């Protein structure tokens, strides 16, 4: 099949959620096979079925908690078998949660965000790397956040874990470059994008989604929050060989937010 990622074999974690869903659809439409993994395995299967109705044989669903290293090993092996290899890894799964301020913060909050947002990215890179090397040219795309580059009150654990994803991406990029594996690794940093991860902000606005989104858009120079495809287009570029000279870089999808 023709397309910008024709012949690529991609694994997208948290693939049934707002951003992952847009990425999986776009990669499949552009010619890739896609393993959609999510802690909600039924949602991953349902999305794979939807995509296969449009692009037959393109998608596979897997139940996968990214905090669980043993499950990473199984899912990577199963995805490689289903797709015939692995050339793109998108570490997308992540959690936000309620705002927690410094004096009320807890070990449980930090441990959970660390496990799901940051340590998972190491597991993914570790278990995918032998397959990515075998399928090179290959690409790892880690979904950080603008919150990994700029802080916000009440977001201590999220800021810290997303900053960790940003820096870990560079470590992996440099290791792979030094070893001449032809595996690139980059991070993507979205600002607010319309997905369920923004639900706590909607709850704070008394359930009024429009009002919540408007409020979030106030600090953004383009005066709106993003759409999932705004991020998916960046992932598509990084998954494709169009970005073959790009590694260890960060991509801000933020409507100009951090230009201020
Ligand atoms: N939407 C935004 O505004 C925004 C902004 C910046 C960064 N991000 C990042 O983008 C990524 C995707 O977020 P989203 O907006 O699509 O969120 P979302 O809540 O819509 O989707 C997240 C998906 O991850 C899955 N998930 C949660 N915990 C998991 C686990 N332990 N293992 C596997 N899957 C798990 C969920 O089931 C869900 O399908 C996250 O890393 C998030 O931090 C989102």
Closest residue by CA, ligand 1 atom 32: 65
Would you say the C-alpha torsion 122, 80, 232, 25 has a positive or negative sign? negative
pLDDT of 97 reads: 79
Q: Is 53 exposed, middle or buried (0-12, 13-18, 19+ CB in 10 A)?
A: exposed
Distance 95 CA to ligand 1 centre (A): 5
Q: What is the pLDDT along the chain (260 residues), one digit of tens a residue?
A: 689 999 999 999 999 999 999 999 999 999 999 999 999 999 999 999 999 999 999 999 999 999 999 999 999 999 999 999 999 999 999 999 789 999 999 999 999 999 999 999 999 999 999 999 999 999 999 999 999 999 999 999 999 999 999 999 999 999 999 999 999 999 999 999 999 989 988 998 999 999 999 999 999 999 999 999 999 999 999 999 999 999 999 999 999 999 99
CATH class of residue range 9-196+228-259: alpha beta
pLDDT of 1 reads: 65
Residue ranges per domain, the chain? 9-196+228-259
Distance 13 CA to ligand 1 centre (A): 9
Asked if 158 is an active-site residue, the reply is yes
| Cα(212)–Cα(242) distance, integer angstroms | 37
User: Which of 195, 196, 199, 200 most suits a substitution to test ligand 1, by most atoms within 8 Å of the C-beta?
Assistant: 195
Closest residue by CA, ligand 1 atom 29: 39
The ligand 1 atom nearest the CA atom of 196:
20
pLDDT of 200 reads: 86
Distance 190 CA to ligand 1 centre (A): 12
| Cα(158)–Cα(80) distance, integer angstroms | 31
Distance 178 CA to ligand 1 centre (A): 31
Set 114, 158, 168, 237: catalytic member: 158
Beta bridge partners of residue 253, listed in sequence order = 190
pLDDT of 11 reads: 99
């Amino acid at each position: 099949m023709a397309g910008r990622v024709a012949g690529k074999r991609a694994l997208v974690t948290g693939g049934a959620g707002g951003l992952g869903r847009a990425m999986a659809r776009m990669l499949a439409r552009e010619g890739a096979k896609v393993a959609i993994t999510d802690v909600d395995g039924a949602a991953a299967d349902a999305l794979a079925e939807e995509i296969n109705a449009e692009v037959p044989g393109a998608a596979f669903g897997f139940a996968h908690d990214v905090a669980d290293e043993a499950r990473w090993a199984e899912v990577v092996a199963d995805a490689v078998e289903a797709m015939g290899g692995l050339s793109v890894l998108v570490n997308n799964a992540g959690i936000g949660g309620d705002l927690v301020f410094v004096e009320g913060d807890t070990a449980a909050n930090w441990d959970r965000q660390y496990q799901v947002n940051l340590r998972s990215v190491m597991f993914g890179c570790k278990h995918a790397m032998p397959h990515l090397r075998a399928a090179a040219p290959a690409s790892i795309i880690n979904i950080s956040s603008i919150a990994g580059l700029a802080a916000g009150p009440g977001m201590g654990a999220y800021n810290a874990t997303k900053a960790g994803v940003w820096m870990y991406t560079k470590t992996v990029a440099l290791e792979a470059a030094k070893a001449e594996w032809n595996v690139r690794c980059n991070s993507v940093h979205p600002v607010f994008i319309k997905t369920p991860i923004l639900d706590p902000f909607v709850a704070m606005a008394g359930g009024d989604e429009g009002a919540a989104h408007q409020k979030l858009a106030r600090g953004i120079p383009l005066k709106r929050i993003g759409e999932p495809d705004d991020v998916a287009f960046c992932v598509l570029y990084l998954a494709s060989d169009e970005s073959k000279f790009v590694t260890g870089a960060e991509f801000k999808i933020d409507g100009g937010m951090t230009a201020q």
